[in-house]
Homo-oligomer: A and B are copies of this chain.
Amino acid sequence: MDEYELTNQRENKAIARVIISFLKYEEYTLKEIYSLRVKKWESISERQKLLIPNYPKYLVSLKAAIQENGKFFKSVAEYAMQSINLASEEIVQPNNLDMSKTCSLLTQVYREWSAEAISERSCLHSRLVPFLKAEVPSEADILIPGCGTGRLLVDLGQMGYNCEGNEYSYHMLLVSQYLLNAGLNQNQTIVYPFIHCFSHWKRNEDQLSPIKIPDIAACSLSKGKGSMSICAGSFVDCYGRNQGTKISSHYTFSRRMQLSRAKAENSKDVVITNFFIDTGSNILDYLDTIVHVLKPGGIWCNFGPLLYHFENDHGVETTYEVNPYSGFQDKINDYTPLMGIELSSDDIIHIATNHLNFTLIQRESGITCGYGRYAGLESCAMPGYLCHFWILRWNPTNES
């Protein structure tokens, strides 16, 4: 088996595991979310039961909502199974983390594909779109690492841009495949994205709100506009530098990825990082990669909080360099922590403008942006994140 076959086999196994987590969503959620609450209700005294006479009815509605979400995930799984033969895969059963990722996809689908969440999407849109219209010609090449389920690709594709997404999570990738390609009509499906959050509600009915998706029929929309594709894998692995990056859990030395990275160099007019820049264990690798893919004069636009995903992760991994002449592993560090180098926004801007030849075009801080927040007026859910926005232009002829 050569490198490509091995990679394919590994990918199919990972995909199979995600598909199974979709098929098990209903069973898992009924057991872990619904049944435990039924048992809790059964456990309280008769006197306390009289204080919450509507709770059994609420539980019935909760169950129905879980079943509806289960239908959605079953459709996604069935669509994915058209391109993968589960029977031929050595199935690894999903663990609790897989299942929890599946549950949180509902928030992502709501944010990207519902009319209700337009105010969340417009936090970026209202700042990005006027800039693109004024400064970036149609048919420019845009890369969106961490593209989630792909909505931003569609919106920018509609403006005529050639959009390439990149996504590491197969959970996201399978849902984006379904929403982008399965030919769904507008408002065809109902999901209940809020049922996994039991806190912060003013009214329990709000938690049980049904949301129609998708708000746009992506299939019919995209015809005749900019091209669109999504690349699966780690941003640094797929698009990073071929020299000077250490091998790690997110950067490999395979021939396939080396070719991918060589092709990516100087290939994009715009990179948009949207709720992405804080997701890696080494933000400097992200900065290097953005520089590597941009054409001279290219644009980096960032939006999102700086909620470093690994700041509390006490894990370590092995990293090392590869000697470009001998191909041998060099400077092996088998105790590289995942936490660390959590830069402030001033740090990032400083590095970009003082060391990486970027020029600052726009910057804004403290933008409150909801994140999967129920949009009803009566809601009292979390206020969301305080987000950073900046636009930088890369001009390698600048003196730094």
Chain A residues close to B by CB (< 8 Å): 32, 36-37, 39-45, 47-48, 50-52, 55, 197-204, 206-207, 244-246, 278, 282, 284, 287-288, 305-308, 311, 314, 316, 319, 321, 333, 335-337, 339-347, 351, 355-356, 365-366, 368, 380-386, 388
Contacts and interface: CB of A to CB of B under 8 A. Distances in A.
Contacts of A44: 246, 282, 284, 341
Contacts of A284: 44, 48, 51-52
A244 B77 CA distance: 49
A246 B305 contact: no
A306 B204 CA distance: 12
B37 A321 contact: no
B340 A40 contact: yes
A141 to B, nearest CB: 26
Contacts of A337: 36-37, 39-40, 43
A202 B344 CA distance: 5
A94 to B, nearest CB: 16
Contact of A204 (B37, B201, B347): B347
B52 A341 contact: yes
Nearest to A53: B355
Contacts of A37: 337, 339-341
A43 B335 CA distance: 8
A198 B52 contact: no
B321 A199 contact: no
Contacts of A200: 305-307, 386
Which 8 A-B pairs rank lowest in CB-CB distance, beginning with the nearest? A40-B340, A198-B342, A43-B336, A36-B337, A201-B344, A198-B311, A37-B340, A48-B284
A363 to B, nearest CB: 11
Q: Which of A42, A51, A366 has the most CB of B within 10 A?
A: A51
Given A45-B245, A52-B347, A366-B380, 8 more contacts: A40-B339, A44-B341, A51-B287, A52-B284, A198-B311, A199-B307, A306-B380, A380-B388
A202 B346 contact: yes
Given A51-B351, A305-B200, A40 B365 contact: no
Nearest to A334: B43
24 contacts: A37-B341, A39-B316, A39-B340, A40-B282, A40-B340, A41-B341, A43-B333, A43-B336, A44-B246, A45-B246, A45-B321, A47-B244, A51-B351, A51-B356, A52-B351, A197-B311, A198-B342, A199-B278, A199-B342, A203-B344, A204-B343, A206-B344, A383-B383, A383-B384
Q: Which of A37, A340, A351 has the most CB of B within 10 A?
A: A340
B201 A45 contact: no
A341 to B, nearest CB: 6
Given A39-B335, A51-B284, A337-B39, A305 B201 contact: no
B202 A39 contact: no
Contacts of A206: 344
B199 A305 contact: yes
A346 B40 contact: no
Nearest to A39: B337
A380 B351 contact: no
A356 B51 CA distance: 8
Nearest to A331: B45
A79 to B, nearest CB: 30
A43 B248 CA distance: 11
Contacts of A346: 202-204
A198 B351 contact: no
Contacts of A36: 314, 316, 337, 339-340
